[in-house]
Chains A and B, each alone.
Chain A
Amino acid sequence: MKPDLQETGIGQSPGAPVSEQTVRTPTQTQLRSSEIQAFQAGQVRQRQTSVPVRARPRMPTNVNDTERVVSAALGALLLVTAVRGRPLSAVSRGLIGGTLLYRGLSGHCHVYQALHLSSTGKSAAARDTSVARTTVQRTVTIDRPADELYDLWRDPQTLRHVMDFFAEVEPAADGSTHWKVRAPLGKTFEWDSRNIEERRGECLRWESTAPSALRSIGSISFADAPHGRGTLVTLTFGFDPPGGRAGNAAAKLLRIVPSTLALKALQRFKSLIETGEIATASPRPSPRERHAHKDSK
């Protein structure tokens, strides 16, 4: 069903029972490094992809039953009358009739697809919550040596400050970090993350400590920019839920993962390191802010 995920072994875990309120990953399973490499390889293919990659049938049904019957009947009628009409009118009737007949019999409408419409009651995107991998990756240049940047990223205070537009990140005693993301309607998603590869000045990789509900994986790597122009810093986040109920819960999180997550996080990191603070326009003293502070940090 999802060949790219099956290859990596991701998405096959049955998963622990989870509530939709809080998805918390138990700390038990450890992923094999081959899985991570495969995941990383997948990320390379989807470099800078922010749109979730979904396994989806080629011709999904997007026309409801009533419309299908009407389409097929009208199509058939046009085809029959086409035989008796004038040549020009016969061709157009034939084309329209054929299209309608196809639409009725297959339940798939290319026009709807092109317009992202569906008359089946569920939008294509809403039906397709089964599994979605979201990977975001960006690179920026920061005017500091790689070793220094590596140390700063590892500092839990830095990470907490850099990520607080997206998640609350708290360090734990065992060196892991606890991530908590607030979703709409008061829901939260939480997981623990630990470093699985640490090479000072080169790269740092981390992953959530169990893949039951939501697999979160990430890396930051450093390379010298040419001619003393600082360091190229590449940040990657991947979120990958399994199927089933747990997957549906986790997929909700994916919808709040900003497509610009890696860019924003890197830009905040860069701003903090280069200028000593993170540039922000909030809180903005505009009239509506008396009621709610819009976060544009």
Chain B
Amino acid sequence: MKANCWYGKHDVRVENVPDPQIVNPRDAIVKITATAICGSDLHLYDGYIPTMERGDILGHEFMGEVMEVGRAITNLKVGDRVVVPFPIACGNCFFCKKELYSLCENSNPNAWMAEKMWGHSPCGIFGYSHLVGGYAGGQAEYVRVPYADVGPIKIENGLPDEKVLFLSDILPTGYMAAENCDIQPGDTVAVWGCGPVGQFAIASAFLLGAERVIAIDRFPERLAMAAANSGAEPLNYEEVDLFDALREITGGRGPDSCIDAVGMEAHGTGLVAAYDRAKQAVMLETDRPLALREAIMACRNGGTVSVPGVYGGFIDKMPIGSLMNRGLTLKTGQTHVHRYLRPLLERIENGDIDPSFIITHRMRLEDAAKGYRTFRDKIDDCIKVVLTP
């Protein structure tokens, strides 16, 4: 089969590789009908996530048709259309029973590796380095899905792929980020980063009752999308003093909650941004936490900072004094996608949200390398690339 493989920094190639096969009784093989490039794939592309190996198949946002099932699978049959959550979860362990699926104790065979980096291990994840299992990803023609009785959700209503594909990751990720804000009537939510996750966090914040949502970015097309599709108030941080602007907009208090939908490769302006770039370049810090610092400083007293943005390692100049003295709550985590599949599918069916609005580019799987470049460099106002095999 054809698959998009990682070969190093800024080097991905579509190669012929052996087809996946059923290994365990609870596996399924899914024939991919649509897959997407995630913003977090760019962290791999830019070489910021350790333990990638040449030839690893990328991709954790995908859906398709069940081709084959293991002998323990009774909920799926050949031909079913399914969307597959990016975290792999067993459904049996302590964390899965608490619906903390992305913290599954059994799905990461390389837990020992993750322990060295992070103290304890999260779940296994498709196509996202050996730290989280080294599983082959879904930017391919076929993929092996472990614990297929727990993860995949069947799509039986005939909705097109583009409306349901993002249930695999970014729609639940944006939604969980907003849910973590515990939004109260009258609340103002500020969202750093208007990429796909930011767009869905903004839309979800409104769905969950936010009065106002402030969208922060530096790309006009992304700000325009947030304003047009969700009714957010755009704020270009290159044009204003962000902190002052947020304080004034919110009557001097700051936003009730702040969402960092940027993560480890934040851009910024001025000396601090240069400082982080330099430190990251010489490996003195792994992540550039500009958005996180700003979100903490700007948040109102007692508010919540919610972090769906991906971080990999260590950061510098964390404003812990601000977090502590002002009683902020920090909420984060890889998304527990499984618990949002059903409710969000219903919202799509009801027409509450149509996630396909973020798609700007459609390409063939063979053009994955071009897709990564286009997305990374935001060529042609690229916000989201969907690939079809």
- Say whether A associates with B: yes
Interface check A141, CB cutoff 8 A: yes
Contact A286 B136 (CB under 8 A): yes
Interface check B231, CB cutoff 8 A: no
Question: Please, which residues of chain A bring their CB within 8 A of the CB of B359?
Answer: none
Give the residue of B17, B20, B109 whose beta carbon is less than 8 angstroms from that of A280.
B109
| Bound-complex Cα distance A92 to B53 (A) | 49
Interface check A288, CB cutoff 8 A: yes
Across the two chains, which residue of chain A brings its CB closest to B19?
Answer: A285
Known: A285-B3, A289-B18. A143 touches B92 (CB 8 A): yes
Across the two chains, which residue of chain A brings its CB closest to B135?
Answer: A281
Residues 51 to 99 of chain B near chain A (Cβ within 8 Å)? 53-57, 72, 88, 90-94
Contact A271 B106 (CB under 8 A): yes
Question: Please, which residues of chain A bring their CB within 8 A of the CB of B16?
Answer: 287
> Interface size of A by Cβ–Cβ distance < 8 Å?
29
Closest Cβ of chain A: how far from B114's Cβ, in Å? 11
Residues 10 to 25 of chain B near chain A (Cβ within 8 Å)? 15-21, 23-25
| Bound-complex Cα distance A275 to B53 (A) | 28
Give the residue of B15, B91, B133 whose beta carbon is less than 8 angstroms from that of A281.
B133
| Bound-complex Cα distance A75 to B297 (A) | 56
Question: Please, which residues of chain A bring their CB within 8 A of the CB of B106?
Answer: 267, 270-271, 274-275, 279
Contact A270 B105 (CB under 8 A): yes
Known: A285-B3, A285-B19, A285-B20. A263 touches B112 (CB 8 A): yes
Interface check A260, CB cutoff 8 A: yes
- Interface membership of chain A positions 5-27, coded 1 if the CB is closer than 8 angstroms to chain B and 0 otherwise: 00000000000000000000000
Contact B18 A285 (CB under 8 A): yes
Question: Please, which residues of chain A bring their CB within 8 A of the CB of B90?
Answer: 271, 274-275, 279
Contact A230 B94 (CB under 8 A): yes
Known: A263-B111, A288-B54. A277 touches B134 (CB 8 A): no
Contact B109 A284 (CB under 8 A): no
Interface check A57, CB cutoff 8 A: no
Question: Please, which residues of chain B bring their CB within 8 A of the CB of A281?
Answer: 109-110, 124, 133-136
Interface check B246, CB cutoff 8 A: no
Contact B147 A275 (CB under 8 A): yes
Residues 223 to 281 of chain A near chain B (Cβ within 8 Å)? 229-230, 260, 263-264, 267, 270-271, 274-281
Closest Cβ of chain B: how far from A49's Cβ, in Å? 15
Contact B112 A264 (CB under 8 A): yes
Question: Please, which residues of chain A bring their CB within 8 A of the CB of B72?
Answer: 276-277
Contact A285 B109 (CB under 8 A): no
Closest Cβ of chain B: how far from A44's Cβ, in Å? 22
Q: Interface residues of A: mostly helix, strand, loop or mixed?
A: loop
Question: Please, which residues of chain B bring their CB within 8 A of the CB of A296?
Answer: 109-110, 130, 134
Question: Please, which residues of chain A bring their CB within 8 A of the CB of B19?
Answer: 285
Give the residue of B57, B94, B133 whose beta carbon is less than 8 angstroms from that of A229.
B94
| Bound-complex Cα distance A286 to B130 (A) | 13
Question: Please, which residues of chain B bring their CB within 8 A of the CB of A282?
Answer: 23, 134
Closest Cβ of chain A: how far from B25's Cβ, in Å? 6
Known: A290-B18, A296-B134. A267 touches B24 (CB 8 A): no
Interface check A199, CB cutoff 8 A: no
| Bound-complex Cα distance A77 to B20 (A) | 70
Interface check B154, CB cutoff 8 A: no
Interface check B163, CB cutoff 8 A: no
| Bound-complex Cα distance A285 to B23 (A) | 12
Give the residue of B17, B23, B124, B144 whose beta carbon is less than 8 angstroms from that of A289.
B17
Contact B111 A267 (CB under 8 A): yes
A-B contact pairs, 24 of them (CB 8 A): A141-B94, A143-B92, A260-B112, A263-B112, A263-B115, A267-B112, A274-B105, A275-B91, A275-B92, A275-B93, A276-B25, A279-B109, A280-B23, A284-B56, A284-B57, A285-B1, A285-B19, A285-B57, A286-B17, A286-B53, A287-B15, A287-B17, A289-B55, A296-B110
Closest 4 A/B residue pairs (Cβ):
A286-B55, A260-B112, A277-B24, A271-B106
Knowing that A141-B94, A274-B105, A290-B18 are A-B contacts, what are 9 other residue pairs whose CB atoms are under 8 Å apart, sorted by A's residue number?
A267-B111, A274-B93, A275-B147, A279-B90, A279-B124, A281-B109, A282-B23, A286-B3, A287-B16
Interface, chain A (partner B; CB < 8 A)? 141, 143, 229-230, 260, 263-264, 267, 270-271, 274-290, 296-297
Interface, chain B (partner A; CB < 8 A)? 1, 3, 5, 15-21, 23-26, 53-57, 72, 88, 90-94, 105-112, 115, 124, 130, 133-136, 144, 146-147
